Structure 1
Amino acid sequence: MAEYHWVRGIADEVLSRGDEEIVIHTGKTPSGPIHIGAEREQFICSALQRELERRGFQSRFNFIIDSFDPIKSIPAGLEVPKDFGDHIGKPLSDVPDPFGCHASYAHHFAEEFIGCQGRLGLYPNVIYSHELYMKKEMKDAIRTVLARLGELREIRRKYIQGDEEVNSGTDDWNPVMVVCERCGKIASKKKEVAPNKVDSWDLQRDEVKYRCVACGHEGKGKISDVRLKLSWRVDWTAKWAIFKVSCEPAGKDHCVKDGAYDMGIEVCQKIFGYKGPLRVSYEWLTLGEHAMKTHKGITFTPLEWLRVAPPEALRYLILSVDPMRHISFLPDRIPDIVDNLDRLERIRFRAEAPSGTESQEFLDDLYRICVVGEMPSSLPARLPYRFAVTTVQLGSILGEDKVLSKSISYTEKLNNRQSLSDKEVSDLKSRLEMARNWVASYAPPSLKFKISLETPSIKASPGAEQMFVESVIALVRSDLGEAELQNAIFESAKSLGLDLGKAFKLIYMALLGSERGPRLAPLLIALDREWAVSKLKAVL
């Protein structure tokens, strides 16, 4: 029985709802650099949208920038002016951009993230919450909350154990927050964040009153004029109702039994009169063993990913596993991830067979939702990322033009091609640049090397060692492929009774002047053949 990608099951559930319009939702607070963990939610939405399109159904994909949330802290490692802490408690949309290049702090980090999304194959409808809150729909949602606050408190009691909202008891809890007209803060932070709450209201006169917890100012005004906001659980639910959301993924912490999602669904149905969205729970994407936290400065951003790896590789990393499976990512894994993406492409075009435990149908689905841009009609010729990692380190002796020509000829031979298309050459150049950036920033010592221009200081001993070096010279001249060359070198050393470590050390000392180096076959192929032969002959 065919096993298809899990996104098909999500699409089945969305379509079974019978929504007049399919609306897919996600959101993020731009409290600092937005890391690649946020892309898990984005990519689930993107994959769902693509699957719906495959079946002939249109959908709307909204991405909410929660720019009206207060800034609670300054992320570790972020350089800001000395008095920047004075802005703590203001809406992110009101905090100045510390770098001076965007309209606000919120816009700086949101637009850095949004600017990458098209390159990652996502095209959401971007909505800033500070603008949304001035619209009639959100004002009406606030009026509904104030009118039905007693019912809302009853619902909340079932889900909140203890006080989640600072300085609020169950009986006087109120989710309506206000931006102080004097100090501009929506919250105050001493030891904890204390939100500014509306103290009293008159819905007939459409007025609210408040006392600012930050500066003590007492203010009042019309609901339509005062800058009001709902606390996050109710804010989330109000947006579901306003946009008639069909599906919104959420982290596992929100989706536990009696968690924020359960409360949200009940509030959505009983307070706002909408059935609520389909939930899709997902696990975390961590940076090794560390959870990525913007406020702690533990991040790896999509922009940084695109500097060192193809966009499809990030989609592959996230979409190749079930949403509830934890993903641990480290930058030194990027060559493996790109290799696996290339293998997926070969399987899709039947140039390679899946393993016995893999489903061809699942992999075909996966490839379709990983591709960014136009779907290839035939197998593209790709430069292997690992070869690029090796060859970009040879620029000092080969020259950059030779690095490019070597890479093109290697890719042509690997793919049995007479020439590459313009698009394939462009892709190859991009991979060389990504590999160069990755080597400079993330390559482990085992993959970094420098070519020695000096005469080798080592000599092969007469007998087996000299015979081994002579066999490697012959193999270099034989024009073998990478796998064949690597295996042939192994077999030569073994057949001569040499210790493999000592045999390979001899070759590395001849070429690099060091005892270790990158995988030998790609290095020998990337080097100028006669230069490599002359260095090997020098140890005889």
Structure 2
Amino acid sequence: MERVLSRGLKHTVESGTSISGPAHIGNACDVLYAEAVCREVRLRGGEAISIWVADDLDPLDSIPYPLPEDELKKYLGKPYINIPDPYRCCQSWAQHFTLEFVNSLERMGLEPIVKSGYSMYRDGTYLPYIRLSLREADKIKELLRRISGMHKPRAWLPYMPICANCGNIATTLAYGYEGDKVLYGCELDVGYAKGCGYRGEVDVKLGQGKLQWRVEWAARWSAFGVTVEPFGKEHAAAGGSYDTSSVIVREVFKGEPPIPLIYEHVMINGRKMSKSKGNILTPRQWFEVAPPETLRFFFFRVYPAKHKDLRMNEVPRLVEEFERAERIYYGVDELVDEKVNVHLKRSYELSIIGKPAPTLPIRLPYDLAVTLIQVYRDITLEKVIDVLKRTGRLYRDLTADEVEALKLRLRQAEAWLKKYAPETVKFKLLDDVSRVKNLLTDKQKEALMKVASILKGGDWLPRELNTKFFEVSRSLGLPPPSFFEAAYLTLIGATSGPWLANFVLALGKDFVAKRFEEAAS
């Protein structure tokens, strides 16, 4: 932040997304980091705005899965703004996927100033930079060669007209201009689309084309006075987009490039995200299984340049990490390492939407929600509240927001269980305990009987009960894992399962005591 503030106290943080289909969580990363920078600037007495640009005049270069390729391949090479909405609910492809993404951003508590690239070409935002780029085309061509090793044809302009004949923008080559009219030939073969051979002209004032990407990026920085920009590491490679656009903004547009905030890309289940292969996770898909705050926390818990791999079978663990940070923030939990405490507190502050609650929110742990859904087929709110009491988590009246959060947690845990949970998490209560009696040793049966007596003898909190399990095992010379295997066999017919202390209290200590006695008799 010191570098940012050294440029003054007034900042514009910009991010952008090519509207190539459903936006994934990595696309939200740009906007999330932009908002975080704005927050920090404001905290330190400055002013900051966040702008997000929908690059809706870019060409479609692949069909994202699972959209029908046969139906849509005729639009390859055409700008998103001119492609029909594949879902037939909006005016265009660009409008559909822009609205979908903006709605997701709003659910994440992100409200940048939204700009359309197409609108910016029509309302004159880019016009002075287009005119200057046309005049300085030879200089730009030399900069591209010098910085990035790109070699352009002799008759080349940094502008991509939309072909008046076939509608492609990816296959046109601009070779001359007269005032605001750009001459072009639709003659390029870009692999996914081929030019139709038409030759014509477009008026740059009417939004009938766009600047080449690296020139456009520099123009955008100048137009908005961008001081900070988050982007993925591929743009930061030597001779890449950022290096080239930085030189163009300085030497052609006479401005300064923004301070880069470079981040590592997000992996999904160990694989790079790809829209064409269908290996993506959208914010909407995340909201089906967990709150928006936890997705924000996923990004803020580590530094932007650190590796991030989101594994959907580990959603309960990530939610628990967020709630542990929450407990640390409110001073209920604390780690030995003070630096980690400070980091988690700040990560939590950046992750929450709006102001923090005055007191620690009462929550149903995600793993406990997964357990309850499998134990009680039609679980009610009353049953959840009863379990919270039994496990020592209900120490005051619930607020209306907390009640709604409990209901949402059950729905999200159920969705996760159906779509992403590993088989090791799924279980059913054992109907007939006699089926496992012969699998238990005498010491295991003795331990079960002792624990049954403890359960009937008083009320326990989860951690207290967990300690008792270990004490009983060791008092009998029984390895604790052997006791836990016996307990799970007795309850669900498997050798492992949910955290036993929570599980016992969720089932009810009287029910479990009776089951243990039956197995041990």
Q: Report the equivalent of 1:332.
A: 313
Q: Report the equivalent of 1:227.
A: 208
Q: Report the equivalent of 2:6.
A: 16
Equivalent residues in 2 for 1:43-442, closer than 5 Å: 43-75=32-64, 77-80=65-68, 82-163=70-151, 168-169=152-153, 171-187=154-170, 195-203=171-179, 206-213=180-187, 214-225=195-206, 227-356=208-337, 358-396=339-377, 399-401=379-381, 403-410=383-390, 413-414=392-393, 417-442=395-420
Matched residue SS, 2:210: strand
Task: Check if 1:529 corresponds to 2:509.
Answer: yes
- Structure 1 Cα separation of the partners of residues 408 and 254 of structure 2: 51
Q: Report the equivalent of 2:483.
A: 503
Matched residue SS, 1:64: strand
How far is the alpha carbon of 1:237 from its aligned partner?
0.9
Equivalent residues in 2 for 1:450-489, closer than 5 Å: 450-459=428-437, 463-477=442-456, 478-489=458-469
| CA-to-aligned-CA distance 1:469-525 (integer Å, 9 cap, x gap) | 112223434322222222322332232233544433332232213343222222111
- Structure 1 Cα separation of the partners of residues 355 and 338 of structure 2: 29
Contact kept in structure 2, 1:63 and 1:126, CA below 8 Å: yes
| CA-to-aligned-CA distance 1:283-314 (integer Å, 9 cap, x gap) | 11111321112222210111111111122211
How far is the alpha carbon of 1:374 from its aligned partner?
2.6
| CA-to-aligned-CA distance 1:98-144 (integer Å, 9 cap, x gap) | 11122222222222221111221211111121221112121222111
- Structure 2 Cα separation of the partners of residues 30 and 50 of structure 1: 27
Matched residue SS, 2:361: coil
Matched residue SS, 2:247: helix
Q: Report the equivalent of 2:190.
A: none
**Percentage identity across aligned positions?**
31
| CA-to-aligned-CA distance 1:158-202 (integer Å, 9 cap, x gap) | 112255xxxx44x44432001112221112xxxxxxx31222211
Q: Report the equivalent of 1:444.
A: 422
How far is the alpha carbon of 1:71 from its aligned partner?
0.3
Structure 1's unaligned 5+ residue stretches are 1-8, 188-194
Contact kept in structure 1, 2:121 and 2:206, CA below 8 Å: no
Deviation larger for 119-128 or 399-408: 399-408
- Structure 2 Cα separation of the partners of residues 443 and 118 of structure 1: 28
Change (3 A) 1:401 1:414: closer
Contact kept in structure 2, 1:391 and 1:403, CA below 8 Å: no
Change (3 A) 1:179 1:500: same
Q: CA RMSD in A?
A: 2.2
Contact kept in structure 2, 1:241 and 1:274, CA below 8 Å: yes
How far is the alpha carbon of 1:359 from its aligned partner?
4.7
Contact kept in structure 2, 1:344 and 1:367, CA below 8 Å: yes
Change (3 A) 1:128 1:44: same
- Structure 1 Cα separation of the partners of residues 183 and 486 of structure 2: 82
Contact kept in structure 1, 2:161 and 2:202, CA below 8 Å: no
Counterpart amino acid of residue 491 in structure 1: E
Contact kept in structure 1, 2:387 and 2:505, CA below 8 Å: no
Contact kept in structure 2, 1:119 and 1:372, CA below 8 Å: no
Matched residue SS, 2:323: helix
Contact kept in structure 2, 1:414 and 1:481, CA below 8 Å: no
Contact kept in structure 1, 2:156 and 2:175, CA below 8 Å: no
Contact kept in structure 1, 2:316 and 2:367, CA below 8 Å: yes
- Structure 2 Cα separation of the partners of residues 225 and 359 of structure 1: 54
- Structure 2 Cα separation of the partners of residues 270 and 462 of structure 1: 81
| CA-to-aligned-CA distance 1:45-86 (integer Å, 9 cap, x gap) | 1111111222333322111111110001112x3132733211
Contact kept in structure 1, 2:270 and 2:311, CA below 8 Å: no
Counterpart amino acid of residue 352 in structure 1: D
Matched residue SS, 1:431: helix
Change (3 A) 1:18 1:505: closer
Relative to the length of structure 2, the TM-score reads: 0.92
How far is the alpha carbon of 1:241 from its aligned partner?
0.7
- Structure 2 Cα separation of the partners of residues 462 and 324 of structure 1: 52
Contact kept in structure 1, 2:452 and 2:514, CA below 8 Å: no
Relative to the length of structure 1, the TM-score reads: 0.89
Counterpart amino acid of residue 418 in structure 1: R
Counterpart amino acid of residue 159 in structure 2: V
Change (3 A) 1:379 1:59: same
Contact kept in structure 2, 1:383 and 1:407, CA below 8 Å: no
- Structure 2 Cα separation of the partners of residues 304 and 263 of structure 1: 36
Change (3 A) 1:135 1:466: same
Q: Report the equivalent of 1:191.
A: none
How far is the alpha carbon of 1:407 from its aligned partner?
4.2
Deviation larger for 499-508 or 376-385: 499-508
- Structure 2 Cα separation of the partners of residues 507 and 330 of structure 1: 30
| CA-to-aligned-CA distance 1:376-402 (integer Å, 9 cap, x gap) | 222222222221121122222x74345
- Structure 1 Cα separation of the partners of residues 340 and 415 of structure 2: 34
Contact kept in structure 2, 1:449 and 1:518, CA below 8 Å: no
Contact kept in structure 1, 2:41 and 2:47, CA below 8 Å: yes
Matched residue SS, 1:208: strand
| CA-to-aligned-CA distance 1:263-286 (integer Å, 9 cap, x gap) | 111111121122121111111111
Change (3 A) 1:500 1:91: same
Q: Report the equivalent of 1:5.
A: none
How far is the alpha carbon of 1:410 from its aligned partner?
4.7
Change (3 A) 1:414 1:125: same
Contact kept in structure 2, 1:469 and 1:536, CA below 8 Å: yes
Change (3 A) 1:266 1:387: same
Contact kept in structure 2, 1:25 and 1:45, CA below 8 Å: yes
- Structure 1 Cα separation of the partners of residues 476 and 111 of structure 2: 59
- Structure 2 Cα separation of the partners of residues 248 and 48 of structure 1: 9
- Structure 2 Cα separation of the partners of residues 95 and 476 of structure 1: 66
Counterpart amino acid of residue 168 in structure 2: K
Counterpart amino acid of residue 122 in structure 1: L
